[in-house]
Amino acid sequence: MKRNANDGVIVTEDLEKIYSDNGVPVHAIQGIDLVIESGEFTAIVGPSGSGKTTFLNIISGLDTPTAGKAWLSGRLLSGMSGGELSDFRRDHIGFIFQAYNLIPVLTVEENVEYIMLLQGVPKRERHERVLKILHEVGLEGFADRFPPQLSGGQQQRVAIARAMISKPSLVLADEPTANLDSKTGVALLEMMRELNAKTGMTFVFSTHDEMIMKRARRVITIKDGKVASDERRGG
C-alpha cells in the first residue's frame, strides 16, 4: 500500500525483514502496512517469535528492513546515516524498558536529565524541567535519591520521566510492567494514560500484559510476521 510519510508519527509501507538461519531464510515480518497517529496509546501484542520485537526495532531505527519503508515523524529511517539516526532517535524517541535501565551511581535528577545533557539544554532549564516532571510522575522530593534507594515502581516512574523529559514524538515501552506487582503496574499505567491525555505524546507498548491491553486505545496483534488484527477502542 502506498503511504505518505506525513500520515502519522509512525508510518510503514510493505515492511519486510528476512533473517538467515544457517542459510535458511526466515521471514520475521512480512508486508506490514501501519499508521500510528500522534497522541495514540497503542499496544502491539503477539506471541514470542511473532515478529513483534523485530517490528519495534525497525520503527525505532535499531534495525533496518530487508524491504519496504518506515518513517518516524516524517523522516525515512533508512535514509539516514548512523550518526544522523542516533541523534534523531535521541531527540524523537523515549524508551521505557522492563529492567528500568537506570544508572545506579547517578541521582534521580541526573538520570532524568541525561538526555537533555546530550542535547545541550542549559543547566537551569534542565533542573526546572526535571522538577516539573518528577512532580507529574509522583516523585516530588526524590531528585537527590539514587535508584537502589527506590522501589521497583518508583524506579519505573523515574524511567517514564526520563523517557518523556525531552518531549519526544514517541514513547516506546517494552514490557514496562513485567517486573512490577499488579497494583503498582495498574497505578503506572493509569499515570501514563493521564500523561498521554495531558501531553498528547504518543505511547506504543510492546507487551503480553492483559492490564496494558485492557487500557490501550488501540491493540495491534502481530502473528507470523503479519498484522492479524487491529482493534481501535473508545475511552
Query: From the CB of residue 64, how many other CB atoms can be counted at a distance below 10 Å?
Result: 12
Confidence (pLDDT) at 58: 92
Question: Which of 43, 33, 45, 12 lies closest to 204, judged by CA?
Answer: 43
pLDDT digits (tens, 9 = 90+) for 179-197: 888 888 888 888 889 888 9
pLDDT digits (tens, 9 = 90+) for 37-59: 999 999 999 888 888 889 988 99
* Banded pLDDT at 178 (limits 50, 70, 90): confident
pLDDT digits (tens, 9 = 90+) for 12-41: 999 999 998 888 898 999 999 999 999 999
Please state the rounded mean pLDDT for residues 97-119: 91
Average pLDDT over the chain, rounded to an integer: 89
Confidence (pLDDT) at 126: 94
pLDDT digits (tens, 9 = 90+) for 46-94: 888 888 889 988 999 889 999 999 999 999 998 888 889 988 988 899 9
Query: From the CB of residue 30, how many other CB atoms can be counted at a distance below 10 Å?
Result: 17
Q: What is the pTM of this model?
A: 0.88
Q: In sequence order, what are the residues at sequence separation of 6 or more whose Cβ sits closer than 8 angstroms to the Cβ of residue 161?
A: 112, 130, 133, 134, 136, 137, 139
Confidence (pLDDT) at 139: 92
CATH code matching the domain that covers 10-232, chosen among 3.40.50.300, 3.40.50.2300, 3.90.470.20, 1.10.10.10: 3.40.50.300
DSSP for 130-198, written as a single string: HHHHHHHTT-TT-TT--GGGS-HHHHHHHHHHHHHTT--SEEEEESTTTTS-HHHHHHHHHHHHHHHHH
Residue 231 scores a pLDDT above 90: yes
* Banded pLDDT at 2 (limits 50, 70, 90): low
How do beta strands 75-76 and 93-97 pair? unpaired
Confidence (pLDDT) at 82: 85
Confidence (pLDDT) at 5: 60
pLDDT digits (tens, 9 = 90+) for 121-145: 999 999 999 999 999 888 999 999 9
Residue 234 scores a pLDDT above 80: no
Q: For residue 112, report the phi and psi dihedrals to the nearest 5 degrees.
A: -70, -40
3-state secondary structure of 211: helix
